[in-house]
């Protein structure tokens, strides 16, 4: 069986009503139309399984690859834990309008209610219009009754923590944290493999049929952490040619790597696949004696677990997010 290679997948586009055109104009993706809200870069979500875009494995689904290559693709401990289910979902999100205020369940609640994984996630801001903001958690500890009062009166935003954002900002969103992305923001989202969202407030919006989108008020009540007052924004300092840790949680570790010279990354002690998300510039990725591959802004690539060393060569200066399962 031929050896594995760095894998790119065909994007899965989502035409939600709050999307725009930045996935094409800023990230160079061939979107199917307007609006396009999300590009699912690597997905093992049932019904939305990623398919390999190039190489001798072109046309194979991610799930098929895990079935065949098992630990060589994802890492032995990850295969033992998750089987053929790929544990992470990687997205680009273009918020041309405000997204709903929402919350996600944890693993236990999701398993009982939906026979699925929970949803802990993080955001890395790529672009932000002047004054654009997002919501993450509460300004102060609130009671369930106070929350319901503001929800019923359409004043929920008054008790939410609002953060103006800029490129490079990072937010960690554990399950149970109420949140919402504001208009004018382009970001990448790294999360557990789950598509379970409890929408609690949608700004009075209606769909193309003129109907309000469904809300999940009751389901959300048992999930929301009403004492969640932060910290919300991750504080970090980028360093050239050395990775900087942004988020570490039981589900994923994400590091930022800014490079203006060749950087070699060794994964001999890591029993996991590695995902690179290119957020600026471009890189050539060398591995073994094989033909190198190129990664440009807006692209995502999966480095199989059996590849234990890669050399990253930036064209000028560029930035990658490096993601793996600890």
- Residues noted as catalytic: 199
Residue 170 near residue 122 (C-beta atoms within 8 A): yes
Whether the upstream peptide bond of residue 73 has omega within 30° of 0, thus cis, is no
Per DSSP bridges, beta strands 244-248 and 253-259 are antiparallel
- Distant-in-sequence, close-in-space partners of 84: CB < 8 Å, separation ≥ 6: 63, 66, 67
* Residue owning tokens 């994400």: 254
String of DSSP letters for 77-122: HHHHHHTTS--EEEEEEEESSPPPEEE---HHHHHHHHSS----EE
Q: How far apart are CA 245 and CA 236, in angstroms?
A: 8
* Residue owning tokens 């002690």: 269
At 176, give phi and psi (nearest 5°).
95, -15
Instruction: Record the tokens describing residue 154, joined without a space.
Output: 């359409």
Closest of 272, 259, 285, 252 to residue 6, by C-alpha: 285
String of DSSP letters for 238-294: --BTS-EEEEE-SS-EEEEEEESS-EEEE-TT--S-EEEEEEESEEEEE-TTSPPEE
* Residue owning tokens 């807006």: 298
Distance of CA 88 to the CA centre of its chain: 8
Q: For residue 264, count other CB atoms closer than 10 A to its CB.
A: 10
Coil, strand, or helix at residue 25? helix
């Amino acid at each position: 069986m031929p050896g594995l290679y760095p894998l790119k997948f065909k994007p899965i586009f989502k035409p939600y009503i709050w999307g725009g055109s930045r996935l094409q104009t800023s990230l160079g993706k061939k979107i199917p139309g307007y609006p396009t809200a999300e590009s699912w870069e690597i997905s093992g979500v049932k019904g939305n399984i990623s398919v390999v875009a190039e190489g001798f494995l072109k046309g194979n689904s991610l799930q098929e690859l895990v079935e065949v290559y098992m630990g060589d693709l994802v890492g032995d401990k990850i295969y033992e834990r998750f089987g053929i289910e790929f544990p992470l979902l990687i997205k680009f999100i273009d918020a041309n309008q405000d997204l709903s205020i929402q919350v996600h369940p944890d693993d236990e609640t999701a398993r009982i209610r939906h026979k699925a994984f929970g949803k802990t996630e993080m955001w890395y801001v790529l672009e932000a219009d002047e004054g654009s903001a997002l919501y993450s958690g509460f300004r102060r500890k609130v009671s369930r009754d106070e929350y319901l009062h503001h929800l019923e009166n359409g004043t929920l935003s008054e008790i939410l923590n609002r953060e103006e954002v800029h490129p490079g900002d990072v937010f960690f969103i554990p399950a149970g944290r109420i949140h919402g992305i504001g208009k004018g923001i382009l970001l990448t989202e790294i999360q557990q493999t789950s598509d379970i969202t409890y929408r609690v407030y949608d700004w009075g919006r209606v769909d193309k049929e003129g109907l309000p989108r469904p809300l999940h008020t009751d389901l959300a009540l048992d999930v929301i952490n009403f004492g969640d007052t932060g910290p919300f924004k991750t504080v970090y300092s980028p360093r050239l040619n050395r990775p900087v840790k942004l988020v570490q949680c039981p589900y994923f570790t994400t590091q930022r790597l800014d490079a203006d010279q060749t950087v070699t990354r060794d994964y001999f002690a890591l029993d996991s696949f590695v995902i690179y998300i290119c957020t600026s510039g471009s890189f050539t990725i060398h591995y073994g004696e094989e033909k190198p591959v190129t990664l440009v802004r807006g692209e995502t690539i999966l480095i199989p677990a059996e590849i234990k060393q890669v050399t990253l060569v930036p064209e000028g200066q560029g930035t990658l997010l490096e993601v793996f399962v600890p």
